[in-house]
């Protein structure tokens, strides 16, 4: 039989675990297409990957804005110790960093495609 304190501590940790689950999966997307493009990728493949990375970067930036908006709406009396605000700020920062990485991958693939095409591609 579980004691009351362990039950409460498990229930208190659930929102944090859910929040960490939302931000912890961003690195998986970046490695899979990179491995596939490492062998025999054409310029069209690089452009397709670049578009995927750009889309993902926009999604992550939108999520970051959503978290930042939630932080600004939390009043001091709702979160006196700042735990919710702190967690939401961290989630927003993680999404911003992931969006920046996706933008860098986008730029790298556009550059690879341009060198393969031998000319500049309009953006």
List the chain pLDDT tens, one digit each, 123 residues: 445 544 444 444 445 444 445 444 444 444 455 555 555 678 888 889 999 999 999 999 999 999 999 999 999 899 999 999 999 999 999 999 999 999 999 999 999 888 887 755 555
Residues 56, 1: Cα–Cα separation, whole Å: 45
Which pLDDT does position 16 carry in this prediction? 44
Name the domain count of the chain. 1
Residues 74, 30: Cα–Cα separation, whole Å: 33
Residue 20 falls within a domain, yes or no? Answer: no
Which pLDDT does position 33 carry in this prediction? 54
Residue 4 falls within a domain, yes or no? Answer: no
Residues 75, 96: Cα–Cα separation, whole Å: 24
In Å, what is the CA distance from 110 to each residue of 1, 46, 51, 104?
A: 59, 7, 9, 10
Q: Locate 7 and state its tokens.
A: 């039950």
Which pLDDT does position 118 carry in this prediction? 72
Residue 17 falls within a domain, yes or no? Answer: no
Q: Residue 75 — φ and ψ, nearest 5°?
A: -85, 160
**CA nearest neighbour of 101 among 40, 33, 37:** 33
Residue 90 falls within a domain, yes or no? Answer: yes
Residue 15 falls within a domain, yes or no? Answer: no
In which domain, by residue range, is 62 found? Answer: 26-117
Which pLDDT does position 123 carry in this prediction? 55
Q: Locate 88 and state its tokens.
A: 């939401």
Residue 5 falls within a domain, yes or no? Answer: no
């Amino acid at each position: 039989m579980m004691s009351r304190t362990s039950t409460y501590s498990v229930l208190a940790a659930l929102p944090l675990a859910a929040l960490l689950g939302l931000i912890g999966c961003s690195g998986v997307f970046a490695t899979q297409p990179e491995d596939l493009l490492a062998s025999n990728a054409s310029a069209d493949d690089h452009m397709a990957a670049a578009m995927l990375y750009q889309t993902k970067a926009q999604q992550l930036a939108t999520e970051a804005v959503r978290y930042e908006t939630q932080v600004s709406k939390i009043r001091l009396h709702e979160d006196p110790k700042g735990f919710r605000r702190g967690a939401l700020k961290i989630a927003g920062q993680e999404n911003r960093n992931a969006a920046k990485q996706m933008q860098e991958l986008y730029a790298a693939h556009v550059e690879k495609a341009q060198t393969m095409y031998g000319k500049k591609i309009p953006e």
